Amino acid sequence: MCNLFWYLYKWASDSRIHRDPTPPTMDTPSTPVSVSSSRSRSTSSSPSTYGGEDTSFTSLDQSTAPSTVESCCSDPGSPRILTEEIIARGSDELKMLEGARMQATSEEPEDLAQHKERIAVNACARQNRYWFSKMKAVFKEIDDQTACIPRKDPFRFLDLGCCPGGFSSYILNKNPFAQGLGISSENETGGHPFLVEKRHQARFKVHYADLTYYRLGPLPASVVRGSTKSLRALPFDCNKRFDVVLLDGKQIHRDPKSNISDRFFVSELIIGLQAIKKGGTLVVRLIDPESVETAKLLHMFDLLASSLDTFKPRTMHVARSTFYAVIKGVGEGPKGGSLPHFINKLKELWVDLSLGGTEGAGRSLCHEDLDFIISIDELKATKNLDRLIKLSRAVWEVQAKALMGQPEPEKPSSFDELLARPPGIFVN
């Protein structure tokens, strides 16, 4: 069975959100915990609609039948990457990356990767502080490249997978008028501790919960009556949208046979796309732009937004396949009015992932599930491949040089980072 976002979430130690290895099922009561570092002084903002259609979260209380809970890929053996087509179009960067991958040492043994995961989850205070500082440096790189954070104008932001808080800390430090809200897993279930500086905490509120705890799609009436006690409404006023939304969460305890990571990522997308203001900025971490799934998502962002940039930070994980998409002017692109349609399709998909499968226990996500964005045949059209190549050249080049031992010189560490660095720490 295809597992779409197993591909998106295969890296181990570069996460900022984790989950309990045995998450609650739909019939297991569980209430997300809300903790505020201090009372948030969030400014009011008017709700926005796209294409004249209201997409507020309150509509999720309606109970409707899922689209097709048994759906799956019609062709499980179909290609999941576009490498051959992209290289044929003349992408020397991807060709270089493929060569570097062939020559690089094989992927680290699974037991070593799992050992590094445990270290990340059970990191000591100094290691957590170091991770926090590195994440601040990562977001500074993103902002320096894309100018996604205003310096003076008041704005509200949402950070999904916020702890330890490096991204949020950078934003709050740069803009004294910014106010933020974050969602992250509890420290007791593997989440990182909240490390945002006390001087910023009056402008930031954090809620502790797994994103898969929230009810994000229209469920059948029979299911609503009997088995959704664990699903809760989102912990913020859905009519007050955000100027900036960060989607950088990941679950670190993952069973490769489970569909939970697929449902998690779709949950992120639904929350992020519904929570953002028209004209707002979305920052999303993705992996491997040559994969069919990532290429489809980039195509969707391109349709919805007035601008789309991609960037691969050099601060950490430079040899890995992760990169960031910065989507500005959401709802103002050539197909900006289609945002409600895409959100509704993602809601239907969330229901299928939650209740699909032969026993109704959920299923994995297949790349065909994203055909509502674009089909693979359409994706291979010359103009779409050329656009994908343009977006991805720098991402492939940076990773290729790192794998070949030619990374760009790292910027000097900040004083705070040097103080936080544990002896012997090395982050690739």
Question: What is the reported pLDDT for 354?
Answer: 84
φ and ψ of 4, to 5 deg: -55, -55
What is the helix, strand, coil percentage profile of the chain, to 5? 40, 15, 45
Q: Point out the residues of the chain with pLDDT beneath 50.
A: 1-65, 67-71, 76-77, 108-110, 225, 252-254, 415, 418-421, 423-428
The answer to whether 3 touches 262, Cβ cutoff 8 Å, is yes
Question: What is the reported pLDDT for 408?
Answer: 64
16 vs 110: CA distance, rounded Å: 21
Question: What is the reported pLDDT for 242?
Answer: 97
* DSSP-derived 3-state class of residue 215: coil
**Domains of the chain (ranges, CATH numbers):** 4-420 (3.40.50.150)
Read off the pLDDT of residues 269-281 as tens digits, 9 standing for 90 and up.
999 999 999 999 9
Burial of 260 (0-12, 13-18, 19+ CB in 10 A): buried
288 vs 97: CA distance, rounded Å: 11
184 vs 194: CA distance, rounded Å: 9
A 10 A CB-CB count for 102 gives 8
Question: What is the reported pLDDT for 72?
Answer: 52
The answer to whether 120 touches 15, Cβ cutoff 8 Å, is yes
Q: What is the H or E stretch that residue 208 is in?
A: strand 204-208
Identity (one letter) of the amino acid at 117? Answer: E
Q: Which of 196, 285, 301 is nearest to 249 (CA)?
A: 285
Question: What is the reported pLDDT for 274?
Answer: 94
Residues 6+ apart with CB under 8 A from 391: 289, 298, 308, 309, 310
Question: What is the reported pLDDT for 64?
Answer: 44
**Cα 280 to Cα 218, 240, 329, distances in angstroms:** 26, 13, 5
103 vs 95: CA distance, rounded Å: 13
Cα 280 from chain centroid?
Answer: 16
Question: What is the reported pLDDT for 427?
Answer: 43
φ and ψ of 267, to 5 deg: -60, -45
Question: What is the reported pLDDT for 19?
Answer: 34
358 vs 425: CA distance, rounded Å: 46
**Cα 227 to Cα 231, 320, 333, distances in angstroms:** 9, 40, 39
Q: Which of 76, 130, 51 is nearest to 334 (CA)?
A: 51
Question: What is the reported pLDDT for 233?
Answer: 82
Cα 252 from chain centroid?
Answer: 13
313 vs 140: CA distance, rounded Å: 9
404 vs 271: CA distance, rounded Å: 38
Find the distance separating the first CA and the last CA of the chain, reported in whole Å.
Answer: 32
Place of tokens 């670190």: 252
Helical residues (DSSP H) of 276-414, grouped into ranges? 292-304, 339-355, 376-379, 382-403
Tokens of 256: 């490769």
Instruction: Record the pTM.
Output: 0.77
A 10 A CB-CB count for 350 gives 26
36 vs 57: CA distance, rounded Å: 22
φ and ψ of 57, to 5 deg: -65, -20
